[in-house]
Structure 1
């Protein structure tokens, strides 16, 4: 899969069918991952409401943390105020130990949070024993693509060090290999269930299939989720991981 240009990552490019597919993959992945019974879910995904709404619709009670440091992402309207609560905070000190059943850290939350070790330690603290976390991060594939676009060729040599990548808009993202993401999670005392790219199908493949048959979206999504290997960070702009507190 070729790296996707930065304008496409921001949704301003021409890969409409691919992003429709990407969002469908993420939604189905969350649907499969959520606890079977009614649970308390903590959403750290930025306050846009999408993930909280899906978890609430599945019957869970959700606490959505809106991080005031993420400018331009004000609280989204609550679709189900009886099941979704919102709080503004930049950490989890307001939550007691072992108080939630599941944690969502989608929308690249741990890549935007440069001190990811501190953030994931908080996640592990508030999870009850047996509770699980679903996290997504920017991959090294994405980081190297952004550096190459900015002609930072000297920075492209892969090392075991943390990769902090400047975006053209001045923001910084932290990019992970699968090994680094696994180390981050296990370092917080979590047991990694799986790590995988969000998608491995290329935009051109998705575009071709959907152009031939728009009804093929469900087939594409199931193919993506059922087929691609764990711990493969050679493809895909984002990595997704599931981890469990022992």
Structure 2
């Protein structure tokens, strides 16, 4: 059974309370992860997230790479004193070892099938000691989507790369924690941690928030304090932090 229905994975619909909790967890994870000193961050989330604004409020400068396939904005413009938006299909516009940290949220490394190439580019532009925060679709999610579409034969396949066809015709790449570890180390980065984004179920979150809407902060704290490292048996997404060796 799909832990979250495919048509709810855009963050809207009947699971509104769960997504409120989910985004609060993401914001707190980012707050804890951000550098202590003002830094130059590269955001690869395609312009779909709130993370550049959060990082800018914390005193960092951000280069936000927008999805080049979407129209409407100039190729390059300043969004604020701290955020610069760039429309590009790779990181060729950045010199080697030029950024302090990279954020790859909004499942961008699952949407981009050639994830290895993206991380190789990330390694190039990161300064020694720089860090990466990344989120990908989990194998749990991929298998659930296949089951929901009655692709039972595909569930028996154990290939190295798991590409998942979605009902809307798109394809994403799903990972186990072991595959995320191999992906990171294969790019020359060092793994700091890998864990599920959330382990609390939508039904649990809805029950707690339905009893007391003020319990959101408690739920987020509980989630972050109890998350197991390298556990890919729960959760629709995996999140990882890595560092470039000095």
Give the TM-score of the pair, scaled to structure 1: 0.94
Report SS of the residue matched to 1:156: helix
What does 1:62-77 align with in structure 2 at a 5 Å threshold?
Answer: 62-69=62-69, 71=70
Report SS of the residue matched to 1:229: coil
8 Å CA contact 1:46–1:73 kept in 2: the answer is: no
Q: CA deviation at 1:161?
A: 1.5
Distance 1:170 1:18 in 2: 25
Distance 1:206 1:133 in 2: 29
What does 1:52-201 align with in structure 2 at a 5 Å threshold?
Answer: 52-69=52-69, 71=70, 81-157=80-156, 159-201=158-200
Q: CA deviation at 1:160?
A: 4.5
8 Å CA contact 2:194–2:239 kept in 1: the answer is: yes
Alignment RMSD, CA only? 1.8
Unaligned runs of 5+ in 1: none
Distance 2:216 2:80 in 1: 31
Cα distance per residue 1:170-194 (max 9 Å; x no partner): 1110000000011001000000000
Unaligned runs of 5+ in 2: none
8 Å CA contact 1:164–1:175 kept in 2: the answer is: yes
The answer on 1:238 being equivalent to 2:237 is yes
User: Structure 1 residues 89, 53: closer, same or farther in 2, change over 3 A?
Assistant: same
Moved more, 47-56 or 187-196: 47-56
8 Å CA contact 2:48–2:106 kept in 1: the answer is: no
